[in-house]
Chain A
Amino acid sequence: MSDEGDLGAVAAKGRTRGIVARHAGILVALVAAWEISCRMGWLDPLFFPYPSAILLGFWRLYITQGNIWPHLGLTMLEVLVGFLAGSALGIALAVCVGMSDRLRRYLKPYVVVLEATPRIAIGPVIIAAFGFGWTSKTAIVMLVCFFAPFVNTLNGIVGVEPEKQSMFRSMGASKVQTFTKLLWPSALPEISAGLRLAMASALGGALVAEFIASNAGLGVLITQYTGTLNMASAFVCVLTLSALGYFIFRGMEELDRIVVFWSDGDRTDAMSRRRKAAWRAKMGTTS
């Protein structure tokens, strides 16, 4: 059993290395093709700067000048605070709406209308209402992060089979017990998917806020660099955002695997094996 496990782990590690190598190969080929296209004049450096210039830009912005750090920190903070506040509000409201038919009837149309309104159009109104500071930027990110958790939580709660709810009722479960033992666990996979979507959109929300009115942040830096046609440095900021978005998304996926473990077959199997082993150890038996 132990040998099989080791062999499996080695094979998995090998597969991961293979995937990483393949992706690295594709990336290097793409970057090389880009560089050659720029040098041959097939790509306009005004819109697509030389990858070598972007590489130097990374060195400049992150190491020699180091001016990207405070902007990056601020954008990440806006994303984090806006995401936490927006998704908490979305989930909380969805729980209330999901538990009450009357509230659902009254509130849902307004939420849908708000969802259909383009965020970029609401941005200036929020700035006018909340001012130029931290509050308005967080409010924009909150708004962006509100809908996906709201809709998914609501769907998750409303979508629980009525038979299960009847069974809970017939067994005399209280409202709180029905919520904590049935509705919440059933809705959790959908809530988690909503949170992943919200996190992915949060970055866009923060950028919108920074484009509209801000003294700092990656959005401001991009505006400054494109305004001065310093496209290599602008690309450094854009690629930083892409990397940030990617790692945030992967982080959320990992969190999802841990928290909502029962939605992942492999993880459920692994957990069953662990519990089985623990049980056997406790009972003093071996396989």
Chain B
Amino acid sequence: MRRILTATALGALVAMPAMAQDTTTINAVMPKQRSANYFPLIVGEALGYFEEEGIEVNLLPSDTPIPFVNFLRNGQADIAMLDSAEVLQAIAAGVDLNVIYEVMQTAPDGIAISGDSSITDVEELAGETVGLVSDRDRVTMQIALDARGMTEDDVTTVVVGEAGPTLAAAFRDQTVAAIAGSGPDWLAIQANGIPVKLITPEEVSNKPGNTFAVMASTLEEKGDAIEGYLRAWSKGMYVAEVDPEVVAQIARTAVPEEWEDPEFGQQYLNNAIRLNVSVTETLGGLNTETWSAIQPGMQKFGLIDEQVEPDRFLQPGPVEAANDFDRAEVEEEVAAWREANM
């Protein structure tokens, strides 16, 4: 009995510093709920990386037409996942926004056609009807057409909607010649046995897909917490490089809805890993050249009025902190988790 009491007292003493540590809530606004699509978050939570940093992530999934920047400005969100157009438009509007991390370094946007279609290139779409998953995908189509010396006037466009069945029927029945959207849009369709081919010109993919952005004032006030958030995210991302099966197992538990069809779940995760794992050596690294290169096209299609120097909004400091972790330690933790749970 005495031994048990001593062990309990020792355990309590060891646990005390962790309990005493204040937890900071980071309000993160993103387009979707917890999903394999953002596996670094669910992996980071499952392996306790956010907790280690003293952070609790309050995910704010939003499907509103209100720009996410507004939630940063009114203080409802500390950090937002924004695409490159949203970032540049906010900067052009004078918002004191900092891009601190590139979540997806290649854009998931693309042009897809039915697997049975005879079309092989975007230039063959002249005179055809092109479906847009949402109106936001119009610029993807514009850039793709521009890459082949065409304009929007060369095709007829129609918004087919984000609903899975409608989109799947459009592919299967070929009611439109091609669809402009992003990877996750047609992943479900492929996984359900409807063949899809991509004819995306390189110019479309060659831009940052999603970034983490914060207001400059938030970075001053909550700098340590934001860095901790990014470090936990990076560790979660790194786990996919170390052991993708562990990521799959965590996703199965965290988001069972995406794994009712195991084949779909695996394909969805594979695509998410392809998009989320950084191509640069530094996880989440900011690519100044790409940010400069995408602006002429955006200006041409009226997304931005004028180009801005990337130095004005790229803030590389937090990226360094996000990579400041011991990779060997993560590898050991992953092995231990596998041992205990798989």
User: When the two chains form their complex, are residues B188 and A215 in contact, meaning their CB atoms are under 8 A apart?
Assistant: no
What is the CA–CA distance of A216 and B60 in the complex, to the nearest angstrom? 11
What bracket does the count of chain A residues touching chain B fall in? 20 to 34
Residues of A near B71 (CB, < 8 A) are 128
Q: Which of B14-22, B97-105, B110-118, B160-168 is found at the contact surface with chain A?
A: B160-168
**A55 to B53 CA separation, bound complex (whole angstroms):** 44
0/1 string, B155-197, CB within 8 A of A gives 1: 0000000111100110010000000000010001101100000
User: Are B257 and A224 touching (Cβ within 8 A)?
Assistant: yes
Contacts A46-B168, A229-B192 given; indicate if A213 touches B60 (C-beta within 8 A). Answer: yes
Given contacts A67-B257, A220-B33, contact A228 B188 (CB under 8 A): yes
CB of B257 within 8 A of CB of A221, answer yes
Please measure, in the bound complex, the distance between the C-alpha atom of A218 and the C-alpha atom of B191, giving whole angstroms. 24
A247 to chain B, nearest CB (A): 25
Name the interface residues of B56-82: CB closer than 8 Å to any CB of A. 59-66, 70-71, 74, 76
Verify if A251 is at the interface (C-beta below 8 Å from B).
no
Alpha-carbon distance A215/B28, docked complex (angstroms):
12
Please, which residue of chain B has its CB at the minimum distance from the CB of A49?
B165
Contact B165 A226 (CB under 8 A): yes
Min distance, Cβ A209 to any Cβ of chain B, angstroms: 11
Q: Judging by beta carbons under 8 Å apart, are B260 and A215 in contact? A: no
Q: List, in ascending order, chain B residues with CB within 8 A of A127's CB.
A: 62, 64, 66
Q: Per a CB cutoff under 8 Å, which of A214, A220, A223, A229 touches B188?
A: A229
Nearest B residue (CB) for A65: B256
With known contacts A127-B64, A128-B70, A132-B62, A60–B33 Cβ distance under 8 A: no
Q: Is A138 an interface residue (CB 8 A)?
A: no
Task: State the CA gap A127–B61 with chains docked (Å).
Answer: 11
Q: Are the C-beta atoms of A227 and B188 separated by less than 8 Å?
A: yes
| B261 located at the interface, meaning its Cβ lies under 8 Å from any Cβ of chain A in the complex | yes
Closest A residue to B162 using CB positions: A227
Contact of A229 among B29, B162, B168 (CB under 8 A): B168
B103 nearest CB across to chain A (Å): 19
B64 in complex: contacting residue of A212, A216, A230, A231, CB < 8 Å: A212
Q: A132: which B residues are within 8 A, CB to CB?
A: 27, 29, 60-62, 76
- For the complex, is A261 an interface residue (Cβ under 8 Å from B)? no
B313 within 8 A of A: no
Q: Is A213 a contact of B165 with CB atoms below 8 Å?
A: no
B: contact size bracket: 35 or more
Q: Is B291 an interface residue (CB 8 A)?
A: no
Please pick, from B64, B172, B191, the residue contacting A124 in the complex, using a CB distance under 8 A: B64
Q: Which residues of A contact B257 (CB under 8 A)?
A: 67, 221, 224-225, 228, 230, 233
Measured between beta carbons, the chain B residues less than 8 angstroms from A212 are: 62-64
* Distance A221 CA – B34 CA, assembled complex (angstroms): 12
Is B268 interfacial (CB 8 A cutoff)?
yes
Complex Cα distance A202/B60, Å?
A: 23
Interchain CB contact under 8 A, A233 and B260 = yes
Contact of B66 among A65, A124, A214, A215 (CB under 8 A): A124
Instruction: Report chain A residues within 8 Å CB of B260.
Output: 60, 65, 230, 233
Quote the shortest CB–CB distance from B133 to chain A (angstroms): 11
User: Taking the nearest CB of chain A, how far is it from the CB of B179, in angstroms?
Assistant: 15
- Is residue A44 within 8 Å, beta carbon to beta carbon, of the partner chain? yes
Determine the distance from Cα of A229 to Cα of B167 in the docked complex, in whole angstroms.
Answer: 10
Contacts of A233 in B (CB 8 A): 257, 260
- Asked if B33 and A228 make an inter-chain contact with CB atoms under 8 angstroms apart, the answer reads no
Scoring A214, A226, A228 by chain B CB atoms within 10 A of each residue's CB, the highest score goes to A228
Chain A contacts with B in 190-243, Cβ cutoff 8 A: 211-216, 220-221, 223-231, 233
Expressed in whole angstroms, the Cα–Cα distance for A47 and B165 within the complex equals 6
User: Is A8 part of the contact surface with B, judged by Cβ < 8 Å?
Assistant: no
- Is A18 interfacial (CB-CB < 8 Å)? no
A214 to B31, CA, bound (A): 11
Q: Name which of A65, A214, A223, A231 has the most chain B CB atoms within 10 A of its CB.
A: A223
Closest A residue, CB atoms, query B33: A215
Which residue of chain B has its CB nearest to the CB of A126?
B64
Are the CB atoms of B164 and A227 closer together than 8 Å?
Answer: yes
Cα A88 to Cα B184 with chains together (Å)? 43
A25 at the interface (CB under 8 A from B): no
Is B258 in the interface zone, CB < 8 Å from A? yes
Taking the closest CB of chain A, its distance from the CB of B61, in whole angstroms, is 6
Contact check, B164 vs A213: say whether CB atoms are below 8 A apart. no
Complex: A128 Cα to B71 Cα, angstroms: 7
Contact A213 B64 (CB under 8 A): yes
What are some 25 contacts across the A-B interface (CB < 8 A)? A46-B165, A65-B260, A128-B71, A128-B74, A132-B29, A132-B60, A132-B62, A211-B63, A213-B61, A213-B64, A214-B33, A214-B61, A216-B33, A221-B257, A223-B63, A224-B33, A224-B35, A227-B188, A228-B164, A228-B188, A228-B258, A229-B168, A229-B188, A231-B165, A233-B260
Point out residues on B near A: beta carbons under 8 Å: 27, 29, 33-35, 59-66, 70-71, 74, 76, 162-165, 168-169, 172, 184, 188-189, 191-192, 256-258, 260-261, 264, 268
